[in-house]
Amino acid sequence: MNMTVKQISVFIENKPGTMVSITDALGTAGIDIRAMSLADTQDFGILRLIVSDTEKARAALASIGCVTSVTDVIAAVLPDTPGAMSGMVRLLAKNNINIEYMYAFISNTDKKAYIVLRIKDTDTAVKVLTDAGFSLAKSIN
Amino acid sequence: MKAPKTHNIYSPEYECMSRDALRELQNERLRRVVKHEYDNVAIYRERMDAKGIKPEDIKTVDDLRYLPFTNKTDLRDTFPFGLLAVPKRDIVRIQGSSGTTGKPIVSGYTENDVEVWTEMVARAIVAAGGGKDDIVQVCYGYGLFTGGLGAHQGATRIGAMTVPMSSGNTQRQILMMKELGSTMLCCTPSYAIYIGETVRDMGLDPKKDLRLKSGCFGAEPWTEEMRQRLEELLDIDACDIYGLTEIAGPGVSFECLEKKGMHVNEDHVIPEIIDPVTEEPLPYGTAGELVFTTITKEGMPMLRYRTHDICVLHDEPCACGRTTVRMGRITGRTDDMLVIRGVNVFPSQIESVLVSVKGVSPFYMLIVDRVHSTDSLEVQVEIEENSFSDTVSALENIRNEISEKVKSVVGISAKITLVSPKSLPRSEGKAKRVIDNRKL
Ligand SMILES: [Zn+2]
């Protein structure tokens, strides 16, 4: 069973107004942004989005000239217990699984905290996490 | 559909002449043209007199080295008719270039000059696989610029169906291409790539929806990598064509389907390579500045015209059967040379770096500036759509690779800026790739 969610990455030139045009384009297309994170350097950035309709969002972004790519990421529910986050990271490290990047968000609907993990070998990570009892999202509503 | 690799030759009696016979023909034509120039053009006469040279001193092509050079500034200074070697009433055509600064330059053609030029382009289109059954779409600009009319005349001469689209309105170009079933394309390589990208954007498949097989692409320098991209995008054979208004227009030299350098129409022009600094002639195989002497032109003949283009000439026989000398790609311009922090930089060097890096396109812009009396160079380059991934490190790796290669090839460090695909200007004429903001 697929235990990952689709994430869109958008290439962002570091110039004023880029973010505005992106959010405008998604808004006009009626797309909800579930989670978002921006990785940036001095000259460019990569905006990562989890949205209500991935294909529609890509089309909307392409229409304003944005380059995008889609990646499968793991969205793990973070248990509401102290130290849960470091437990998860330590578990992955112990299994020699490298995290390329991660970010957190709180779902609007179930009010749970999620950790988005980008890992090269997704399948192994999914197995390690589920075996350890973490619950992974199949989609984000 | 690519062109079958046939080698049709429009004027085999000249294009396949023995080197000895060709040299004899050049000697005879050179003697005649030098006398014509000395007798009819004040500037040429004064310069030859100043060097103590009379037309009768010039007996063979080997004597070319004693003759004075002609420069673009001479065309500007004598604009519009000062270099005419015939009465104005014998001129039937004016072509020219707008020139980015100051006065334009123009060239006057007699009826025979138009004829010679037409034949040169006809040879080029035939060498690219063209013939009477072809439908040739010309999307060079028409007007004073020689691209449009040059290709038009050549295509008409070989009896092809000629479609004078001129440049611009790309979607309409593509619709006509599809509806008419155009088989050949004549335009600048960067515009051809843009057409190819637009074809793909429109959801068309060149293999199914178009009938293009080949084309003659010129009027700006380009690279092997651009050729590959163009050939893939449109599924064609892309042949290079070279020319300049001062000499005739496109067709001065052209590639056959072997695509191994451009055959120079040596029965009409004599090419030389010189050292741009010492002005001494260099042997075949050595890179230097390309110089042309026209030997059949009547209206505005050019004596050792300095093109400022850098390339190599070679005379190994070609598999197509033509015996003419071939010129390699233009690898730079002596006057494009940027001096940045005291280092000579040719945009073509940067381009050669970019085409060797995976993940970026060959479209780039160089921005030179001076901040606190130090020169800076910024290279803006488009990332390639398919190679964009979600990690910063992938993009940083591309940037570092370019940065290191620029440093090792050019010798100075540059700021590398990655920009979105198709965000840099695609030009329909000559691509402008340098912005120099230095106030000196
Ligand atoms: Zn050949």
Q: Are A46 and A40 in contact (CB under 8 A)?
A: yes
- CA–centroid distance, residue B258 to ligand 1 (Å): 6
Shortest distance, CA B32 to any CA of chain A (angstroms): 59
Shortest distance, CA A64 to any CA of chain B (angstroms): 11
The architecture in CATH of the region B338-439 reads: 2-Layer Sandwich (3.30)
User: Chain-wide mean pLDDT for chain A?
Assistant: 90
Q: Which CATH superfamily is domain A72-136 in?
A: ACT domain (3.30.70.260)
A67 at interface of B, judged by CB pairs closer than 8 A? yes
Question: If you search the block for the tokens 């591309």, which residue do you land on?
Answer: B398
Beta-sheet strands, E only, within chain A:
5-13, 33-40, 44-51, 68-77, 99-106, 113-119
- CA–centroid distance, residue B257 to ligand 1 (Å): 7
Q: Is A118 within 8 Å of B395 when comparing Cβ atoms? A: no
Question: If you search the block for the tokens 């110089």, which residue do you land on?
Answer: B291
CATH 3.40.50.12780 domain position(s) in chain B: 1-331
Nearest CA to B112 among B87, B93, B132, B136? Answer: B93
CATH 3.30.300.30 domain position(s) in chain B: 338-439
Nearest CA to A45 among A14, A6, A22? Answer: A14
Q: How many CB atoms lie within 10 A of CB B433?
A: 21
| pLDDT tens-digit profile, chain B (440 residues) | 777 778 999 999 999 999 999 999 999 999 999 999 999 999 999 999 999 999 999 999 999 999 999 999 999 899 999 999 999 999 999 999 865 455 688 999 999 999 999 999 999 999 999 999 999 999 999 999 999 999 999 999 999 999 999 998 999 999 999 999 999 999 999 899 999 999 999 999 999 999 999 999 998 878 888 899 999 999 999 999 999 999 999 999 999 999 999 999 999 999 999 988 789 999 999 888 999 999 999 999 999 999 999 899 999 999 999 999 999 988 777 877 787 887 778 787 888 889 889 999 888 999 999 887 788 999 999 998 888 888 888 899 999 999 999 998 888 899 999 998 888 887 654 567 888 888 65
Nearest CA to B383 among A67, A60, A38, A92? Answer: A67
A47: nearest CA partner in chain B: B390
Alpha helices in B244-361 (DSSP H): 347-355
Residues 6 or more apart whose CB falls under 8 angstroms from that of B373 comprise none
Nearest CA to B389 among B359, B416, B369? Answer: B359
- CA–centroid distance, residue B113 to ligand 1 (Å): 25
Shortest distance, CA A81 to any CA of chain B (angstroms): 30
Q: Is A43 within 8 Å of B396 when comparing Cβ atoms? A: no
Q: In sequence order, what are the beta bridge partners of B332? A: B310
pTM: 0.67
The dotted CATH code for B1-331 is 3.40.50.12780
For chain B, the first-to-last Cα distance in angstroms comes to 52
The dotted CATH code for A5-71 is 3.30.2130.10
Q: What is the pLDDT of residue B220?
A: 82
**DSSP structure class, residue B133:** T
The residue ranges of every structural domain in chain A are 5-71, 72-136
Nearest CA to A85 among A110, A109, A102? Answer: A102
